[in-house]
Amino acid sequence: MWIDEQLAETYERVGVRAGLLESVAGIKARRWWPEDVTFDEAAARAGAVALEQAGVAPSEVDLLISTSVCKHHLEPSVACAVHNRLGLPATCMNFDLGNACLGFINAMTIASSLIESGQVKVVLIVDGEGSRQPQTQTIKRLQGPDTTLTDVFDQFASLTLGSGAAAMVMGGPRIGSHQFLGGVTRAATKYHDLCVGDLDEMRTDTAALLESGLSLAEMTFNDALAEGWEWNDCDTYILHQVSAVHTNKLCELLSIDKTRVPLTYPDFGNIGPAAVPYTLSASADRLDVGDHVLLMGIGSGLNCSVAELIW
């Protein structure tokens, strides 16, 4: 693995074995965009494909929501760049929605509410992520002669990231479309400092983040069951794609049948908010009309959302 080759001297010095990403996280590969492709361009490409497949013209889009974690700058929004690339009309409201890896599911919830209230008819949600910069900067730091074992583990999560993009068109009921039923969200913001990052560096207390994230997921799931949601026997569970450890423990904790959980992290890594919609799209061939599909995301902060679709 290329990352192992880049960090071979560091691993040897601090006593870490090669192949850590695959043996611990279950990640075999990740992707980078070509150097001349930006994450917002990738988001726009995904948006164009989604519009074409939905049979929706750019002129029909009332709202564009970008959920990209990656940002070139604080302002203007990523949504502005995507809006421009797609040639969306001046009447199309556009903004960024940032909530770490949970942003896309949050955007689906907001879009659904706006559609049901009659304020908009068609919403395009996009996400594009690029992991080249954070990973090259992380590797460069870890190659330093003063790097410690603690440094390696604090920045380990950065090495699991992947580049990717996804988009979704949401609108009112129509023949052949899928139904978004809504869901439940819970917060545990006392853990907001467990994973902090920007495009150059991300430091994570991996063990504490896993433990607190699982606890929040369990609370969210159990609260949903208490509210009347019937999620114990869904046909497919689309979980946020973090690692083998995270997925296995989450399935065990919530009694989810792992054969109903499609995986994309082994070949694409953690692609942030794009992970859930990307995995949903990649799983389309295994879904039948009427299937109940559960989406679950956990975002640094911590926040957790679980939402249901009828395929």
Question: Would the pLDDT of 297 be above 80?
Answer: yes
Q: Which active-site residues does the annotation give?
A: 75, 101
Chain CA centroid to CA 182, Å: 18
Residue 235 lies in a domain: yes
- Is 155 domain-assigned? no
Confidence of residue 117 (pLDDT cuts 50, 70, 90): very high
- 92 and 83 Cβ atoms separated by less than 8 Å: yes
What is the pLDDT at residue 149?
A: 94
Structure tokens, 70: 């990656």
Instruction: Please report whether residue 79 resides in a domain.
Output: no
C-alpha of 223 from chain center:
23
In a domain, 274, yes or no: yes
Domain CATH for 299: 3.40.47.10
**DSSP state letters, 15-66:** T--TTHIIIII---------TT--HHHHHHHHHHHHHHHHT--GGG--EEEE
Number of independent structural domains in the chain: 1
Distance CA 147, CA 136 (A): 16
Q: Measured between alpha carbons, how far is 94 from 72 in angstroms, rounded to an integer? A: 17
The tens digit of pLDDT for each residue in 122-157 reads 999 999 999 999 999 999 999 999 999 999 999 999
Handedness of CA 305, 199, 189, 97 (dihedral sign): negative
Higher-scoring residue by pLDDT: 106, 23: 106
Q: Give the pLDDT of residue 18.
A: 87
Range of the domain at 242: 179-310
In a domain, 32, yes or no: no
* Residue 53 forms part of a structural domain: no
Residue 135 lies in a domain: no
Q: Taking all residues of the chain, what is their mean pLDDT, rounded to a whole number?
A: 96
In contact, 220 and 185? CB cutoff 8 Å: yes
232 in a domain, yes or no? Answer: yes
pLDDT tens digits, 173-229: 987 889 999 999 999 999 999 999 988 889 999 999 999 999 999 999 999 999 999
Structure-block tokens of residue 172: 């009112």
7-60, pLDDT tens digit by residue? 999 999 999 988 988 998 999 999 999 999 999 999 999 999 999 999 999 999
